[in-house]
Structure 1
Amino acid sequence: MRKGQHKKNLTDGECNNLVQHLLTRCTSSGKLPKGVAEDMGKLFDCTPTTVRRIWRRASVDLSGSKTICATVHQRKKGQSGRKRMYTDIPERIQAIPQSRRNCFRSIAYALNIPKSTLHVYFKRGVIAKYSSVLKPSLTESNKVCRLNWAIKHVTDIDRAKYFDPMNDTVHVDEKWFFITRLQKKIYGAPGEKIKQRSCKSKRHLLKVIFLSAVARPRWDQAKGEWFDGKIGTWHFTEVVPAQRRSCRRDAGTPAMKTVTVTRDTYKAMIIDNVIPAIRSKWPSDETKRVKIQQDNARPHVPPSDAAIVAACKAMGWDMEVVFQPPNSPDLNVLDLGFFRAIQTLQVEKHSSSIEDIVAATDAAWAAVSTTTLNKNFLTLQRCLQEVILDTGGNDYKIPHMKKDVLLARGRLPEMVSCERNAWRVGCAYLSRVDYAAHMEKLDREVQESMEMGVICTQIEALTIYNDTEVHDDIVAALGLVQLSE
């Protein structure tokens, strides 16, 4: 070996093999006999000093303990190389406004360091990447309503606080399903050419709105089978004769067309489809007092609507339609993740028409696992706890509880426990605020929004005629001066 040339360091595997050889040569007290270090040094091409140092790091214990020796591995990683040029990167980044931290280029410009250097620090873990999701803005009344909603779902079981399993609730919501996504990730072989996707307008993609209803999956004792919780999904469409001839069909051929969701169409969908589906699929040995939870969209019917109340009370049932707190999509199972699971399967099938979108969505609805729906209900219970911890706010990340791991071990719970201290703090906060005043304000806002929805529906139904005589009469009646061209 030439002067100044060093031997190659032992790898982790060689260090472990060295310790195993030494264990076969050591005494019963864990000591190395004379000459063993020299022999092992020749065998592994290292010095006896290196052999003794690795033996000391192994900390061999032959007294019958569970661990005979410690793990020996290289300690050079992270402890060698030149020192970092910038040691205050985290503090300097926090001083930059968050609106200017969208890319490495803008951060590097603000810090006055090369972009490549910044990327190296990112790979080392000095810089973290976060995703910012735009959430609904909440008023104080919204927060009070959300907090009260979450606390009402807490029940006492064996002197402990648990969230209601929601076996008597049906979640209802709408969602648009598009013909394709604007941005789509595709994996392929190196050098493979990906087929180009094109459309006439990105703002006017074919889409169909669906109304879906789900409940908590559970065992149906009367039928002796699992109740999958999927009440049903329905699309707002109608079949009308085609007005024009196209390359796909002749004029007059029946074609599917989307329908605008108004108060009347939504009410008809609830009365004619949702409520009968609940009656037919609901476990027969369970309660008939069912809550149909909906959000506060403008076309939605109020719970006091006479036709809705009559349909809910018919045939011996005691259903009721309830509004969830305003601006709270995180309190609905469909918005939390079930719609996303359906959309993931729906876009996998190629669609070129409204009929294809409907067929792909129906197939995705049938293919989604019942386990996915059950896990979404557990996620909802965790979100309720976060709402209590945030005093009705939505400044939290959707919590994860490793449901797949618990399911594989057979330990997936039916109900999530609620922190007793958080429950007490939430109840104390509600006792200090004027809950009735906040609810009156929210009711007034919801009522105004629903009235505006009725006005918008009436405006959409108006037919415009180009009648010059009527126009002149209106101008004369109002006393307006018509400008000459």
Structure 2
Amino acid sequence: MLKGQKKKNLTDSECNSMVQHLLLRCTKAGKIPMGAADEVAQLFDCTPSTVRRIWRRASVNLSGSKTICRNVNQRKKSTCGRKRLHKDLPKRIQAIPQSRRYCFRSLAHALGMPKSTLHDYFKRGVFAKYSSVLIPALTESNNVCRLKWALDYVCDRDGAKYFDDMYDTVHVDEKWFFMTRLQKKVYGAIGEKIKQRACKSKHHLLKVMFLTAVARLRWDETCGEWFDRKLGTWHFTEINFLTLQRCLQEVILNKGGNDYKIPHMRKDVLHARGKLPEMVSCDRDAWSFGCAYLDGADYSAHMHKLSLEILQSMEMSAFCSQIEALNIVDDTDADDNLVAALGLVELSYE
């Protein structure tokens, strides 16, 4: 045991094992030879004086009596040690707002006590840690709307209530998959220099979106097999997203006048009034049909320039082109995560 190191309290099993080791080394007279206490002390990571004290407590008698040694269990009870200074800690914690109880630092500052002392009370089980999960903050009108939506699928058949089979309903949902995480564990050799990952912003990680349409599982009589519910899955490069700001800018450039509002001019007010959709989207076929329908002689070059500007203004335009071309060669993690994301999409709808 090193000098200045804090002594530890031996358990009952360690004390009994220590006496057994000393019995193997003791003489017929019941005394331990020189150096035996030091060897046993190294085995149990304690001082030789602790070994000799436990040996004296054992009072070994090898004269053939019924009891060879006495009980050497710890004499410290559960109520030993210093008295707690903060007996009403649970009540004081309950009186603190929950917004200040998410970390030890803020909680200790609110209680007016050191963080290390608070952590000691936590290890003793005075207070516990819970998980706080966000739930939808529904108002009364939201609950009524959800209940009305559910009641719309309840039908009356011969006086009995049944839920709609929803065979004529198609569910469309989008799935976002992040290509990486802010913090990841990497295992390597000793002294190896790990490659540093970098991105433009930690708040905007690269991600891929898949649009999936599913329906209810049913038996297909024409094919003679069960329909797997999945109508299709498309990654978001199949759809051209046009920002409303770009659309209004083109309208002003073509028609002139100042009767239109650009989204960055009081956008929140227009959105609150319900006059500003967040995004305008159209299918690729509709986009191609609209371009062919318009005068291609003068408008094709302008639309080509406009599409290039839209792609440049999109946040993930470069990554979209990489996904569409399947040409990810720089980031090995991106390749692995993309394959995992594709597998998750396939598994989630099988």
Is TM more than 0.5 here? no
Higher relative contact order (CA 8 A, sep 6+): 1
Q: TM-score range by the shorter chain?
A: 0.3 to 0.5
TM-score (norm 1): 0.33
TM-score (norm 2): 0.43
